Structure formats: structure tokens, C-alpha cells
């Protein structure tokens, strides 16, 4: 999938996390390095987050990593959690569930002297938003749930240049069409888990109220989902790693990208389950 803006660098929570101890800084592209910063030529699969579920004791996260790796999830304030991947590479941990505002975490795995960074950053969202999405520089935020028998728009990502992408979930392996304000904007195919991310490639996303529609073939009938998003100019963060603002229908999270620039991720509230 083509990024929605050229040469968008990796996620820049790194500077904020530098004083938080051993965890590796998060990047939008997965990578491997040794503690002194020298690249390691041998490939090691990056850690991945597979699910996030709200529990009474907190936000339960699970995923995969190299067997025996020390998995670390760290927020800009140094809080987070740690787990060890089992002999099959599975790991799980619990962090506080965000109640008043979203939280962002860097995900990494340490195998001996090697540190492997996950693709993107973990963005935890209060209810009624989805528990977790994966924020990715230059791409739409990746949902974790799915597949679903219906279409659901999860996130809209955009930057100051007007580049935009829309992500969501629906039936597996479905062809998904995106329109913005009634104008066709892009196509994608959902993956085996029903997740899709469509680049709005035909024109820059303008500030104001934007109506997004996604359509897909759902077997015997066509599926549609419509959401309304208020697009505002992306403002500087003034040294912060991210800023979260509640807007109608969801949370807008502005976050810094390495090398400069800010990306906005609007995470939509999860709609109520349809009546049977």
C-alpha cells in the first residue's frame, strides 16, 4: 500500500522515551538494532500485538514475538508493562485501561543484546472507542478486531499536506471502496481478518466536516458504512509526543513523526450492535 504522503518518517516518541530506560524507541517501520545503535544484519521478526480487550483489572493485550523475548510496552511517561514470550512466541500483559483520554505506547522486544521495534505505536482508546489500534506513520491506523459481518470505519489519518487514509474492518477478503463527500477516493481489499486501509489518493483532504463512506460486497448484499469527521488543521505539538482531543464521534490524536511533522489519527467510536 502506498503511503499517503511521500517520505513520511517514522513515529517520533523516541525522544520522549529516551529517558525511560532500556526500551527501544518506537518506529513506524519495524527494525532491529543492538544497544549501541549498530544495525544487526540477522533478521528477527518484530513483536506484534494481536488483541486488546478491556477487563476489570485493566487493558489486556496479547501478541507474538520471538520465543523467549522480553516484550516491553512503554508510554512517554515511562509507565507500561513487561512480559516474556513463551516457547511458541505468545505473550500477554495488562496495562491500565485509559478512562479520560487515549494513551500511546512503544512496543519492543529484547532478545539477548538485540532490540526489535514493532511497526507503529500502540494507541489505547477509552470506551466507546475500540480498545486498541496500531498508529502507523504515513498509513491509516490498523484495527485489531475482525472479521465482522458488517462494515465498520475505525480511523481516519491525515497530515498537514492533506494526505489521508481510512481504515476499518468488515468481511474477510472483500473489495472495499472509499468515497469522501460523495467523490470516489480509493480502493482496497480487506485481509483475512477483515481489516482494510484505503488511501484517499484523488485529492487533498480539506478542513471542515467530511463525510466518509465505505462500501463492500458482503456476499448476498452490498455493505455500507458512513461516518462524519471534523477535519481541523494540524497544529504543532510544542515538544509533546502526542495530544488527544475529544470531538464529536471519537478521539483525535495528533502525534509527532521522527524528522518533523505531525500526523492526526481520528479514532471513531464503535457503533452499537445492530438489532437482530
| CA 245 – CA 258 distance, rounded (Å) | 22
- Paired sense of beta strands 195-199 and 103-111, if any: unpaired
Which of 116, 127, 129, 142 lies closest to 50, judged by CA? Answer: 142
pLDDT digits (tens, 9 = 90+) for 184-236: 999 999 999 999 999 998 789 999 999 999 999 866 678 999 999 999 988 88
Residue ranges and CATH numbers for the domains of the chain are: 14-124 (2.60.40.10), 140-268 (2.60.40.10)
Which residue from 211, 90, 216 is spatially nearest to 147, judged by alpha carbons?
A: 216
Q: Dump pLDDT digits (tens) for 109-155.
A: 999 999 999 989 999 999 999 999 999 998 999 999 899 999 999 99
Q: Using 50, 70 and 90 to split pLDDT, how confident is the model at 10?
A: very low
Q: How far from 2 is each of 163, 173, 194, 218, 266, CA to CA, in Å?
A: 11, 19, 19, 25, 20
pLDDT reading at 17 higher than 70 = no
C-alpha 153: how far from chain center: 13
Residue 71 near residue 83 (C-beta atoms within 8 A) = yes
Amino acid at each position: 500500500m502506498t503511503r499517503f504522503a511521500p517520505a513520511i518518517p517514522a513515529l517520533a516518541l523516541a525522544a520522549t522515551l529516551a529517558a525511560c530506560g532500556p526500551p527501544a524507541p518506537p518506529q513506524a517501520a519495524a527494525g532491529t538494532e543492538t544497544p549501541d545503535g549498530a544495525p544487526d544484519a540477522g533478521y528477527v521478526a518484530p513483536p506484534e500485538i494481536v488483541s486488546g480487550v478491556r477487563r476489570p483489572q485493566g487493558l489486556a493485550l496479547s501478541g507474538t514475538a520471538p520465543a523467549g523475548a522480553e516484550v516491553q510496552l512503554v508510554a512517554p511517561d515511562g509507565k507500561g508493562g513487561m512480559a516474556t514470550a513463551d516457547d511458541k512466541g505468545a505473550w500477554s500483559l495488562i496495562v491500565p485501561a485509559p478512562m479520560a483520554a487515549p494513551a500511546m505506547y512503544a512496543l519492543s522486544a529484547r532478545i539477548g543484546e538485540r532490540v526489535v521495534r514493532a511497526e507503529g505505536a500502540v494507541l489505547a482508546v477509552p470506551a466507546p472507542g475500540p480498545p486498541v489500534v496500531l498508529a502507523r506513520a504515513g498509513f491509516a491506523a490498523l484495527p485489531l478486531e475482525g472479521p465482522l459481518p458488517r462494515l465498520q470505519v475505525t480511523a481516519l489519518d491525515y497530515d498537514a499536506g492533506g494526505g489521508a487514509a481510512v481504515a476499518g474492518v468488515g468481511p474477510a477478503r472483500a473489495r472495499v471502496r472509499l468515497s469522501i463527500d460523495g467523490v470516489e477516493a480509493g480502493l482496497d481489499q480487506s485481509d483475512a481478518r477483515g481489516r482494510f486501509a484505503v488511501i484517499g489518493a484523488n485529492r487533498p483532504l480539506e478542513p471542515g466536516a467530511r463525510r466518509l463512506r465505505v462500501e463492500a460486497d458482503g456476499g448476498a448484499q452490498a455493505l455500507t458504512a458512513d461516518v462524519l469527521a471534523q477535519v481541523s488543521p494540524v497544529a504543532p505539538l510544542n515538544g509533546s509526543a502526542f495530544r488527544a482531543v475529544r470531538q464529536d464521534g471519537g478521539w483525535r490524536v495528533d502525534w509527532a513523526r521522527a524528522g518533523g511533522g505531525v500526523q492526526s489519527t481520528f479514532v471513531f467510536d464503535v457503533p452499537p450492535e445492530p438489532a437482530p
